[in-house]
Chains A and B, each alone.
Chain A
Amino acid sequence: MLISDLSTSGAMPAAEMLLKFAGQRQKIIAHNIANIDTPGFQVKNADPKAFQEMLGDAIDRRREKNGGAFGALEWKETAEIHRVGGQGSMDFELRPSTSSGGILHHDRNDRDLERMMQEMVENATAYRVAADLLRSQRNQLQNAIAQRVI
């Protein structure tokens, strides 16, 4: 069994992608909050639902291809999630889009403080879930390697 097989089994690849996504999205949300009073600013967002669909798609494809929950995830780029590095790289960067249809304030800023705060809380929770998942999977691996039985 190769080392890479250890790190691509079970939920670890998906949890890593979620961790990266939530980490980059936090920067976008912080940028929106910092620009609460900037005239003419338009709130940017990277849609978590689109990310969820993309991830679910990649997991299903992996299951079909390998017959189980192991192997690298092959994910497809979306309008907001761009691959960084060569073909098959797991690294990505977010290119947020501006949502339209919000309430425009008198300074032409379409801020919505409550929505921003909600997004930040949900994003932080998603990050925590991914981090906890990764830690527990790593602990299981460590126990297996150390031949410990809990």
Chain B
Amino acid sequence: MNRKALIGLFSLLLAVFTTPAQQEIIISGVIDPGNTKPIWVSVNGLTGEAAQVLQFDLYVQGFGFTNAEGAQYLISGSNNGNLQARAADRFNKNTLVAKAYSGASLRRQVHAFADDFVKALHGVGVAQTKIAFKGETGPRSGEIFIADFDGHNPQPVTQDNTIVAAPCWVPHRLALYYTSYKLNNPDIFYHDLSSGARKTFARYGGANISPAVSPDGSKIAMILSKDGWTDLYVQNADGSGLKRLTKSPQDESSPCWSPDGKWICFASKDRERRALRKVSVNGGEAQIIQTGGAPSPTEPDWSPDGQWIAFTVQYRDSFQICVVPAKGGTAKPLVEGEDPSWAPNSRTLVYGRRQGGRYTLALLDMPTKQVKDVSRISGSNSQSQPSWAK
């Protein structure tokens, strides 16, 4: 039978049976950070690893688990060998997903089902995405790692045995920018993950740190000290067109981009006031982004849907992950942690959690404040500075 025709027919039937706007709330609507209720699902028939992986995947995307009587969505299936799974709406009886999976690993099959389910609810599934991060591998040295979003299948992509920092994915590309001390200076490298090819992107005098790639990949914002102060600069991906965007002897750090590519948001201190500021990529006066209730914000990251800025609030001895509407407003503290990075779904964040002098990575579903640690990374005793592939 023609598969496409079948899917088309099936979609048509779904459309006929779906009552418009019935609690399909996964992405749309007003999100109250930290106070949004989970979407209740029940899971039956899956066992062992398959059940664990599915619960992990859905929990960090805002789902909660209950019995069939209390759930909005019913998931059932089996995992003898390969995964077969089905998701249905308990209220209108619509089948949302009904698939059998094969190939790769059972883990990957479950991730694929989780994505199919979230997509059926008009969301962006993130269960098959990757993260990059800094992993310490010895005293005073580390490597850049990539892993599945849940920490599984970690692999170092550098073998330099030096200090590394702040990896940043190039959107829609298998490529990273990061800081490396390999050439005895904090320089910014570009690294193509498909071929392993690298090049020095910024090696000016002094610090070349905190690279942030524009949404279209054409420009890189970064902090340089070549002119005697730590300031914000932007440079084209081909190495041309270096432009200085701030001129201040005080703090500028951790740039990130608005999803429309027009603004660069960064942490700064100016006239004795710490604040998040944004500056046009073409230059001009920087504007304060109000973060009411959070006096010393650092490490901003702008959500892909443009709605939110997540950041770290730095108190004297502890740190909180906060969010604020991107136009500014009252900051909402969510959990203890540092250096948040948004998932493509604009709701899940990966961040670093400090334990003693070390970090582990964790995932936070911003609306529900549900948190899970990513799995331990073998070969590294501290993981931090995550960047979620988008």
Our verdict on whether A and B bind, yes or no, reads no
